């Protein structure tokens, strides 16, 4: 049961290697000597990445990043590659070094060190995984075989949910959106289907026809590999796979679209425990909740009721062997990447090679790092920040957040489309924002997690059960406002509407996002834009439905909401016109929250920079004005190359517009960008003033 948080994948551009690290070390050494004046701040502009053949007004994204995009092809084990990946790879190497140092020692005095070492060794022990084959999950497959009827299924799925095992009812525990002081269980449609989204089952076109055929082949192959088909008959395996595909297609038709699932009001459907079975007919959902240990509250929030109703009906009236095959394939989708080579390759062949265009699996050590991160993330984080996070970065970030907050307050007061009553409520919410930077004040306790040598899948299963229990135990307890939903070593950031907080893990606070030795303009354009983006999520089309205490509560006048939605509709229309591949365009409604965050984030970051500069004239550094550096800072962090397969998947499933539009689509709406780069009416990116959208 994982908390479903609105997270922002912040894609970064970083070309810094050892030379940059050495330069930073030299700067620090200089600062420590009182007889030598500190060096002047650098611009932070990475000129070697520019493509001077592309004018800013033609394509600002490629003007700033064109050379980088050409010279950094996507590695064989990646579906995309960008600055975010570069920084994530750096953090991954740092974590690997920590783990390998721990793994070389058989015994540790610190129990967490012992668990980290044993978990990493268990994943790296490929020989044992190969020898065990299917054995680590055979008990799960046998348990599914032991189910003889639909009547026993509800309690069975609840027991698996309690253990964190894969099953089609996606429970999680979070704050009650209408009473953010309490935890409650949520039920989401998420894990019912094996393809990324309902559109992969329903959309027409050669790409989707090919994927569906390949998926059926994968299902048939996997059913054969786990001996689910008697006699190893190819025709029988294909027929069984077709039946599972038909079941999943039925479920996909009932799934809400991702646009509908974004709506925080429509997805808040509260059912008392006495009434939950009205959703599911003969399927005893109350029994599932009891077996899962989720009946400690008097209610459940069902996010997409129709999808849950259809799942219950499908599990009840489908051929029972098809239901068993469907459940077994869910087990393999979860655990095949951690079993023997043939199962790892079969899973990779479809889910990475076919679906995402990736030609090589990640090296085993990278997969091991990811597994330990998922199980013991904060234990690793504690060790990561001790070694890699300078405390002065936190102080400078706090200063920037203060200026961003001031700039937002000024902007809200000056809005011409919002009335005074709503402005007061918006300012009240802004004043209640909480900020977390770097790492938690209180680390997670992993004392109850058992890790055993040489038992990779057992460790994965125990970690899942541990996390499920930790989530379940929240019910009835006070809300833990110290909790983090990302680890410090994650290169990312997020806003939580129910916490009303913005969170910036330590690993994001490095160039080009955040340069301790650069002048402020580049940092305000980069990390400042991200700070503004995260604050902006509190005022996007969905975050704005929550008040300052984290409650789903309307604080708008009808007139102001109507004016806001008129502006956001124009933004949707703009982004609908962006098509990175022929026939595959941005879904402006799906990406609306992130686009509001991007546009408001950079606009407010510029105002915050001007506030921070005060009356001093912004300096020109390396030939770039402060305005230019600020916009360049924003563009630099979004450099990324995509495989076509991954681009299509992201357009269908992701809430973010492709990176080129997170740059070009934003700057062309900001008036100050035009004089900064002498953009005239003939430029391809030019938007007439009346067509530009300014919300916050």
Tell me the per-residue pLDDT of 660-681, one tens digit each, with 9 for 90 and over. Answer: 999 999 999 999 999 999 999 9
303 and 397 part of one domain = no
Give DSSP secondary structure letters for 331-385.
Answer: HHHHHGGGS-HHHHHHHHIIIIIIHH---SPPPHHHHHHHHHHHHHHHHHHHHHH
pLDDT of residue 335: 98
Closest CA to 176 of 476, 389, 385, 440: 476
| Helix/strand/coil for 266 | coil
Same domain for 396 and 488, yes or no, is: yes
Percent of the chain with pLDDT over 70: 94
* 411 and 285 share one domain: no
In a domain, 60, yes or no: yes
pLDDT tens for each residue of 378-421: 999 999 999 999 888 899 999 999 999 999 999 999 999 999 99
First-residue to last-residue Cα distance in the chain: 35
Sheet containing 493-496: give its strands across: 7-8, 493-496, 501-505, 434-438
Map residue 624 onto helix, strand or coil. Answer: strand
DSSP state of 581: B
For residue 300, list its beta bridge partners: 185, 271
Tell me how far the alpha carbon of residue 255 is from its chain's centroid.
Answer: 21
pLDDT at 357: 97
Question: Whole-angstrom Cα distance, residue 331 to residue 339?
Answer: 12
- Same domain, yes or no: 47 and 181: no
When pLDDT is averaged across residues 208-223 and rounded to a whole number, the result is 98
- What is the pLDDT confidence band of residue 230, given thresholds at 50, 70 and 90? confident
* Residue 489, CA distances (Å) to 89, 202, 282, 302, 523 in order: 11, 38, 46, 33, 20
Q: Which candidate, 402, 419, 633, places its Cα nearest to that of 523?
A: 633
What's the rounded Cα separation, in Å, for the pair 210 and 539? 41
* Residue 110 confidence class, pLDDT cut points 50, 70, 90: very high
DSSP code per residue over 146-210: H--SGGGHHHHHHHHHHTT---S-EEEEEEETTEEEEEEEEEESGGG-SSSSTHHHH--SHHHHH
Coil, strand or helix at 8: strand
Same domain, yes or no: 33 and 154: no
Q: What is the pLDDT of residues 329-355, one digit of tens each?
A: 999 999 999 999 999 999 999 999 999
272 occurs within a structural domain: yes
DSSP classification of residue 518: B
Which positions ≥6 away from 588 have C-beta within 8 Å?
571, 572, 573, 574, 575, 576, 595
**Residue 461 counted as domain residue:** no
> Are 601 and 480 spatial neighbours (Cβ–Cβ below 8 Å)?
no
Look at residue 442 in the predicted model and tell me its pLDDT.
96
- CATH label of the domain that carries residue 397: 3.40.390.10
Say whether both 168 and 265 belong to one domain: yes
- Asked whether 435 and 501 are in contact (CB, 8 A), the reply is yes
Position 589 in a domain: yes
* Sign of the torsion angle spanned by Cα atoms 253, 257, 261, 267: negative
Q: Quick one: tokens of 530?
A: 């991200």
Are the C-beta atoms of 667 and 634 separated by less than 8 Å?
yes
DSSP string, 52-89: TTS-TTT-HHHHHHHHHHHH-PPPTT-SEEEHHHHHHH
Q: In which region does residue 655 sit, left (phi positive, over 0), alpha (psi from -120 to 50) or beta (all else)? A: alpha
Say if residue 499 is in the same domain as residue 607.
yes
* Structure letter (DSSP) for residue 454: T
If asked whether residues 191 and 299 sit together in one domain, one would say yes
Give the torsion through C-alpha atoms of 298, 300, 305, 307, to 10 deg: -130
Among 273, 292, 319, the domain-final residue is 319
| Structural tokens at position 436 | 């977390």
DSSP for 466-499 reads: HHHHHHHTTTTSPP-TT--SS-TT-S-EEEETTT
The tokens of 250 are what? 């039925």
Number of compact structural domains in the chain: 2
Contact 213, 201 (CB under 8 A): no
**What's the average model confidence in pLDDT over 304-316?**
98
Q: How confident is the model at residue 31 (pLDDT cuts 50, 70, 90)?
A: very low
Given this model, what pLDDT does residue 306 score? 98
Q: Give the pLDDT of residue 125.
A: 97
Does 627 lie in the same domain as 504?
yes
| Strand (E) or helix (H) holding 502 | strand 501-505
Q: Which domain holds residue 676?
A: 7-73+391-440+484-691
Please report, for residues 230, 316, 324, the alpha-carbon distance to residue 148 in angstroms, rounded to integers and kept in the order given. 17, 12, 9
Q: Say yes or no to pLDDT of 4 above 60.
A: no
- Strand 299-302 and strand 434-438: the pairing is unpaired
Average pLDDT, the chain: 93
Mean of pLDDT values over 352-377? 98
Average pLDDT (472-497) is 96
What letter would DSSP give residue 526?
A: T
Residues 509-535 have a mean pLDDT of: 94
Over its C-alpha atoms, the chain yields an Rg (Å, rounded) of: 26
Report the pLDDT value the prediction gives residue 32, as an integer from 0 to 100.
Answer: 44
| Res. 5 pLDDT band, cuts 50 70 90 | very low
3-state secondary structure of 99: helix
**Strands (E) located in 584-659:** 640-642
> In this structure, is residue 30 part of a structural domain?
yes
Q: For 231, which DSSP code?
A: G
pLDDT at 615: 85
Query: Does residue 473 form part of some domain?
Result: no
* Segment 642-659 mean pLDDT: 96
Average pLDDT over residues 35-53: 85
For the chain, give the percent of residues with pLDDT over 90. 90
Between CA 452 and CA 456 the distance in angstroms is 8
Q: Which pLDDT score is estimated for 38?
A: 61
Instruction: Tell whether 64 and 200 lie within a shared domain.
Output: no
Query: Residues 433-456: pLDDT tens digits?
Result: 999 999 999 999 999 999 999 999
Cα–Cα distance, 63 to 458 (Å, whole number): 50
Final residue before a domain boundary, out of 289, 319, 349: 319
For CA atoms 361, 363, 124, 163, the dihedral sign is negative
Residue 315 and residue 177 share a domain: yes
pLDDT of residue 35: 56
Closest Cα partner for 450 from 112, 98, 120, 3? Answer: 112
Answer with the one of 319, 349, 381 that is the final residue of a domain.
319
Q: Are residues 619 and 513 part of one domain?
A: yes
Q: Indicate the pLDDT class of residue 28, thresholds 50, 70 and 90.
A: very low
Predicted pLDDT at 40: 73
Place of tokens 């040489």: 454
Split at pLDDT 50, 70, 90, the class of 232 is confident
- Does residue 616 register a pLDDT over 90? no
Residue 163: CB partners within 8 Å, gap ≥ 6?
Answer: 461, 464, 465, 468
pTM above 0.85, yes or no: yes
Looking at the domain assignment, is residue 666 inside a domain?
yes
Assigned domain for 92 exists: no
Position 8 scores a pLDDT of 32
User: What digits encode the pLDDT tens for the residues 243-287?
Assistant: 999 999 999 999 999 999 999 999 999 999 999 999 999 999 999
């Amino acid at each position: 049961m994982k908390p479903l948080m609105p997270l922002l994948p912040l894609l970064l551009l970083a070309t810094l290697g050892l030379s940059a690290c050495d330069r930073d070390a030299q700067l620090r050494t200089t600062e420590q000597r009182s007889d030598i004046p500190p060096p002047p701040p650098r611009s932070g502009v990475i000129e070697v990445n520019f493509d001077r053949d592309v004018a800013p007004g033609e394509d600002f994204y490629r003007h700033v990043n064109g050379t980088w995009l050409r010279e950094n092809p996507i590695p064989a084990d990646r579906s995309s590659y960008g600055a975010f990946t570069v920084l994530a790879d750096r953090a991954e190497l740092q974590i690997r070094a920590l783990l390998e140092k721990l793994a070389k020692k058989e015994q540790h005095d610190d129990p967490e060190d012992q668990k980290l070492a044993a978990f990493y060794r268990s994943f790296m022990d490929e020989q044992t995984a190969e020898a065990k084959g299917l054995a680590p999950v055979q008990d799960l497959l046998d348990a599914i075989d032991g189910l003889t009827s639909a009547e026993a299924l509800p309690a069975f799925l609840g027991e698996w949910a309690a253990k964190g095992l894969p099953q089609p009812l996606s429970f999680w525990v979070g704050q009650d959106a209408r009473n953010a002081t309490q935890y409650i269980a949520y039920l989401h449609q998420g894990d019912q289907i094996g393809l990324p989204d309902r559109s992969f089952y329903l959309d027409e076109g050669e790409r989707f026809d090919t994927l569906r055929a390949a998926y059926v082949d994968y299902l048939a192959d996997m059913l054969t590999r786990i001996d689910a088909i008697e006699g190893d008959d190819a025709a029988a395996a294909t027929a069984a796979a077709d039946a599972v595909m038909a079941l999943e297609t039925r479920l996909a038709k009932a799934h809400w679209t991702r646009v509908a699932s974004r709506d925080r009001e429509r997805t808040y459907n509260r059912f008392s425990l006495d009434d939950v079975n009205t959703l599911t007919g003969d399927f005893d959902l109350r029994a599932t909740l009891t077996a899962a240990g989720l009946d400690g509250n008097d209610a459940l929030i069902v996010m997409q009721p129709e999808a849950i109703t259809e799942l219950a009906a499908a599990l009840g009236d489908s051929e029972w062997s098809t239901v068993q095959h469907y459940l077994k394939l869910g087990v393999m989708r979860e655990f095949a990447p951690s079993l023997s080579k043939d199962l790892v390759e079969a899973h990779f062949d479809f889910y990475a090679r076919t679906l995402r265009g990736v030609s090589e699996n990640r090296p085993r050590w990278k997969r091991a790092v990811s597994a330990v991160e998922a199980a013991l993330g904060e234990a690793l984080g504690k060790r990561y920040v001790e070694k890699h996070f300078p405390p002065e970065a936190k102080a400078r970030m706090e200063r920037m957040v203060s200026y961003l907050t001031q700039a937002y307050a000024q902007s809200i007061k000056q809005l011409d489309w919002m009335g005074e009553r709503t402005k007061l409520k918006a300012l009240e919410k802004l004043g209640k924002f909480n900020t977390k930077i770097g790492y938690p004040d209180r680390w997670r306790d992993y004392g109850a997690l058992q890790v055993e040598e040489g038992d990779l899948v057992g460790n994965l299963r125990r970690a899942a059960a541990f996390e499920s229990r930790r989530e379940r135990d929240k019910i009835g307890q006070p809300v833990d406002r110290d909790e983090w939903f990302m680890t410090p070593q994650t290169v990312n950031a997020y806003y939580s509407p129910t916490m009303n907080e913005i969170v910036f893990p330590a690993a994001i606070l490095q160039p080009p996002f955040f340069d301790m030795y650069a002048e402020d303009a580049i940092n305000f354009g980069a990390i400042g834009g991200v700070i503004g983006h995260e604050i902006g999520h509190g005022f996007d089309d969905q975050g704005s439905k929550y008040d300052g205490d984290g409650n789903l509560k309307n604080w708008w006048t009808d007139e102001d909401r109507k004016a806001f939605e008129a502006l956001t509709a124009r933004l949707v229309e703009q982004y609908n016109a962006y098509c990175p591949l022929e026939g595959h365009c941005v879904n402006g409604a799906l990406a609306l929250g992130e686009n509001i965050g991007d546009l408001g984030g950079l606009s407010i970051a510029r105002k915050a920079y001007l506030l921070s500069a005060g009356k001093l004239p912004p300096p020109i550094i390396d030939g770039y004005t402060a305005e230019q550096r600020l916009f360049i800072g924003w563009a630099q962090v979004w450099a990324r190359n995509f495989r076509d397969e991954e681009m299509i998947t992201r357009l269908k499933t992701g809430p973010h517009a492709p990176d080129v539009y997170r740059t070009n689509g934003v700057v062309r709406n900001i008036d100050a960008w035009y004089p900064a780069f002498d953009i005239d009416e003939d430029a391809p990116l030019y938007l007439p003033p009346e067509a530009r959208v300014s919300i916050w």
